[in-house]
Amino acid sequence: MQSTAEMMEGSILYGQRVIDYTCSTVDRKTLEIAVHPDASVVVKAPAGTDVGAIEAKLRKRARWIVNQQDYFKQFNPRTPQRHYISGETHLYLGKQYQLKVSVGDANKVRLKHGVFEVSCWQKVAPHMTKRLMEQWYAQKAAEQFAQSLERCWPKIARYGYHKPSIVIQRMEKRWGSLSENGTLTLNVELVKASKECIDYVMIHELCHLKHHDHSADFYQLLAALLPEWRHLKQKLELRLA
């Protein structure tokens, strides 16, 4: 184990799995273990706590820790590779739609009669189709995420928090995050999931207004606001796998 003045780093073994952690000693009476969205394990311990006592607590909670780390795998979107050619399918709001690409008098995308119709000016090119589709998804994400926030906000508004602003971007390892200043960032890819799954991610992030980590209190609040969150989590994982 290596240590600095108030921060320590170490690891324990749980079966064949290594759990790395960081621990800060602070002025508090109890020891707290939190698993963050990046799967990092952060411990806050009362000043003077023995390393052995910290690691004993970690071993006692090891099963919960690895379950939490596995839980966050859902925030790593996995979608099949797309070639942006006619005949393949693309998701939107949880449903698959066939793609039809053709030459037209303007660059445009429209979803009509269950088909993504993409028109490319002068010639059909996969890179152009991809760009047009990404622009369309970004526009729809802005609309759908705003509607989701309006649907979900009443569940958390009673706690007196300010409604967060939404930022949409492509994220590598998660579906959403909430910054300390209250900015809600959502992955544009989430618009490919169903509305109920979008709402699940929305409520998950809104719960961070009250609980900034993934403690037991966080999950108690999530379950109170969305009792079926585990089902929706699984549905999101399976649909976008």
Per-residue pLDDT of 106-158, as tens digits, reads: 999 999 988 999 999 888 889 999 999 999 999 999 999 999 999 999 999 98
**H or E segment and range at residue 8:** strand 7-14
Identify the pLDDT of residue 60. Answer: 95
**Per-residue model confidence as pLDDT tens digits over 154-177:** 999 988 899 999 999 998 878 999
User: Does pTM top 0.85 for this prediction?
Assistant: no
Residue with tokens 């596995």: 70
Architecture of domain 89-239: 2-Layer Sandwich (3.30)
Closest CA to 176 of 192, 195, 198: 198
Closest CA to 132 of 108, 164, 114: 108
Identify the pLDDT of residue 163. Answer: 93
38 confidence band (pLDDT: 50, 70, 90)? confident
Identify the pLDDT of residue 4. Answer: 39
17 confidence band (pLDDT: 50, 70, 90)? confident
Enter the DSSP assignment of 87.
Answer: T
29 confidence band (pLDDT: 50, 70, 90)? confident
The domain limits of the chain are 2-75, 89-239
